[in-house]
Structure 1
């Protein structure tokens, strides 16, 4: 089974974290949370879900993981302020390994400058950002472009999980 790094920061979209991670765990995949600081606790937008960070982005490498998962909400916007998170995201996308991203997650791709020429879905408020960064916004519940699997938001979670599990094998 795959070892998945979950890039997560404060104010993530609770359901975009809980539903996919439950499905990944139930399928036998191992998950590690990656954020600003090991041991830090981050809370979802709805203040229902708390997640403790396993590893700091400065202490991880692409070789440690088979895939990464980036839930949406405000988390990706907060995460992209950290150069270590951006560097890790860039290296991971460029590695060709699966990158599973939903809602606002493409904000990390924009800052990492890995979106140009790629087909992606994302939350409607970042469509112009995706296009301005050279990405091709596709209004579908799941968009697969090479190693990237992206979805628009909470309504797309079932299709996102299905496509992600298929990609993970």
Structure 2
């Protein structure tokens, strides 16, 4: 059975935190990834002025259709945090015990929506004060607490993507992909 992943993006999202998870997850048998933008179907300008065309507008997605919902960081986290629809989708996913994940600055989107309060998490080491007040903040590269995965930033993006995959398909498929793509130190 195919596992479905939704990655929600916005203007100024961190490019590598979109592209690396999408590429990594799509290479693993049994995982399908959809890129959805809070700005509709128009191309999105990410960090370094790189343009990414979403598969769908976020307003078009079936919020119950995904096994995992993930977010990139970068300055675009503000756009995600301010979106009522993003909050509704994340809350629905988390409350159903389904996987949610955020990297870099995007754990602040969880905070903005009161998701997973008290959980262990990590983030980019900037503007962490509010996170430290509401969560058990740690500085590990990738953290999973219940159905929430968080990660530090661009340098940890592949470990983050493979941790998401571990929650969706067999570890054998994840290891095979990691080895095929020259990540032998991850497994």
Please give the per-residue CA displacement for 1:32-73, whole angstroms capped at 9, x wherever unaligned: 22232431221111112423250334x434311111111111
Matches for 1:31-42 after TM superposition, within 5 Å: 31-42=33-44
Q: 1:50 aligns with which of 49, 52, 70?
A: 52
Please give the per-residue CA displacement for 1:96-152, whole angstroms capped at 9, x wherever unaligned: 1111211111111011111311111101113212123x1111100110101111101
- TM-score, normalising length from structure 2? 0.83
Instruction: Give the SS at the match of 2:98.
Output: coil
Consecutive unaligned residues in structure 2, runs of 5 or more: 170-187
Matches for 1:50-129 after TM superposition, within 5 Å: 50-52=52-54, 54-57=56-59, 59-129=60-130
Q: Is the CA contact 2:36–2:54 (under 8 Å) kept in the aligned structure 1? A: no
Greater CA drift, 18-27 or 30-39: 30-39
Q: Is 2:5 the partner of 1:4? A: yes
- TM-score, normalising length from structure 1? 0.91
Q: Which runs of 4+ in 1 moved over 4 A?
A: none
Matches for 1:143-154 after TM superposition, within 5 Å: 143-154=143-154
Q: Is the CA contact 1:142–1:156 (under 8 Å) kept in the aligned structure 2? A: yes
Q: Is the CA contact 1:10–1:42 (under 8 Å) kept in the aligned structure 2? A: yes
In 2: Cα distance, 1:143 partner to 1:46 partner: 27
Q: Is the CA contact 2:43–2:51 (under 8 Å) kept in the aligned structure 1? A: no
Q: May I ask how many residue pairs the two structures share in their alignment? A: 167
Q: Quick one: structure 1 residues 125 and 115, their matched pair in 2 at CA, closer, same or farther if it must change by over 3 Å?
A: farther
Instruction: Give the SS at the match of 2:149.
Output: strand
Instruction: Give the SS at the match of 2:48.
Output: coil
Q: Is the CA contact 2:24–2:158 (under 8 Å) kept in the aligned structure 1? A: no
Q: Quick one: structure 1 residues 85 and 49, their matched pair in 2 at CA, closer, same or farther if it must change by over 3 Å?
A: same
Please give the per-residue CA displacement for 1:71-96, whole angstroms capped at 9, x wherever unaligned: 11112211111211111111112221
